[in-house]
Amino acid sequence: MSSSILRKHRVVALLGAALIVTPLLLSPVLRADAQATFSPVASIVTPGKSFAPIVTADKPAVVTIMSKMQVASSDNNGGSPFERGSPFDEYFRQFFGQRGMPIPQPQPKSQEAEALGSGFIVDPSGLIVTNNHVVEGASEIKVILDDGTELTGTLVGRDAKTDLAVIRVKSDKPLPTIQWGDSDKLQTGDQVLAIGNPFGIGTTVTAGIVSARGRDLHSGPYDDFIQVDAAINHGNSGGPLVDMEGKVVGINSAIYSPNGGNVGVGFAIPSDQAEPVVAKLITSGSIEHGFIGVQIQPVTPDVANALGLSTSSGALIANVTDGSPAAEAGLKTGDIVTGFGGHEIKDPKDLSRAVADVSPGTKEKMTIWRDGKSMDVSISVGNNDNDEKTAETQSSPSQTPDGSYNVPSLGLSLGDIDRQVREALNLSTGEKGAVVVNVNPDKAGGEQGMREGDVILSVNQVPVHNAREASRAVAEAAKSGKKSVLLLVDRGGTQTFVAIPFGRA
């Protein structure tokens, strides 16, 4: 995860303190035969009224999950058999160090660790939803019901990409369940309750409001978290977030925290996202996520203007993987995806989710914007078994004495790719384009993040082979009245589009 906020705070998975892991999402699902066993709250709770009816109905269906797993560990004292900092430890280190003898290195040991999380029952036969990170790698799963009954849990299925898992317990009687709600109806300011077992102290209920919708924690294509201010802590992972009708609208999954504790910024996976995933896990035990093999980035107003698109909406294809479904469908770098499988694509996240939700082998219609017009293409979705597959006036240019070309409208100086440049940047023998040799940080190019060593491959989707072609193409774009120019840039082997407005030169 990367952002200025995330550098100041930590996004923390809500497992018990007994084991530190790094995950984030969650969800639950309800079968039709479970709905009849649910006792809904008689009336919607209004502000100022007690939440007791909701708690009475839902709490019996919330469970504590304890997972045992083997983890590799080693002596954290660097090979010394004595307590760190003790006189014996110091003598031991001096003895070996002064004689040039290596301090014995500890051998990795396998130790048993225990993870604490929460979950909730969605089927009276004993199906329970929790986070994948609560049970991943578990050699033993123990489920503690609200009445204190301890049952052995078995894994039904899990999906690391969505951080969802389903486990099953056997009981001699039908178990209480909790019903799915509609997270799409949630609005900022709505009241919600979080239920779970923080720190293992026992089932706990906290109240708060929806602080925001659609939070992206940069953990994957499914990031669409509900932010809440209800107190949630370690051990709450997998517990339900319920609305004022007592229905599950989210799964408590993560917190922002400078110290690992609750500071009123928690995140839950929306139920409308989790429910279908859990349904697939119950049916097949696993999920295959689709992929098409493209790198995508947002369509900014400058990008839209450069490509003649009326709105800054869609997902801009920055690169197409050779041999991928996208390549076979004829998709090109510079295409803007505006629709997929009948759904409108407003941003890259929309496309990532839409593709990932499609079963591999399915043929879908994709709507793209190319060469100033909209068109439809058919694509066969592939199998995404790698997270990295799924899918960023104007005076004329002048040549300087050293052979480079100044592009004053962008504040850049461009040079040709010769052998020396190719070796310095580790470029392929046949790669052509224009290398950025100087960037004025106060001009538009610098403001848009251009760097020395960037290789410009195309200008407004027209390939360029050298600095002269690139500089002239930029100048022609400026003279045509466009407000910005779109550059395809190769940086360290990764291609991305950069739209630079002429007005800020």
Q: Which are the catalytic amino acids?
A: 133, 163, 237
Structure tokens that stand for 70 in this block: 């083997």
How far is it, in rounded angstroms, from Cα 505 to Cα 499? 13
Residue for token pair 């052979």 = 403
C-alpha closest to that of 152 among 128, 133, 136, 178: 128
Residue for token pair 């090979």 = 79
Query: Alpha carbon of 416 to those of 124, 447, 459, 467: distances in Å?
Result: 69, 23, 15, 5
C-alpha closest to that of 21 among 195, 251, 287, 260: 260
- Specify the 3-state DSSP secondary structure of 421: helix
Query: Alpha carbon of 319 to those of 20, 294, 382, 462: distances in Å?
Result: 37, 6, 17, 15
Structure tokens that stand for 156 in this block: 């039904």
Q: How far is CA 233 from the centre of its chain?
A: 21
- Tell me the residue type at 223: D
Structure tokens that stand for 19 in this block: 């084991």
Alpha helices per DSSP H over 405-462: 419-425, 444-447
- Tell me the residue type at 100: G
Structure tokens that stand for 296 in this block: 């995508």
b/e code 338-350 from CB counts within 10 Å (16+ = b): bbbbeeebbbbbb
Q: Under 8 Å CB-to-CB from 327, ≥6 apart: which residues?
A: 293, 320, 321
How far is it, in rounded angstroms, from Cα 106 to Cα 149? 41
What is the SS3 string spanning 463-492? ECCCHHHHHHHHHHHHHCCCCEEEEEEEEC
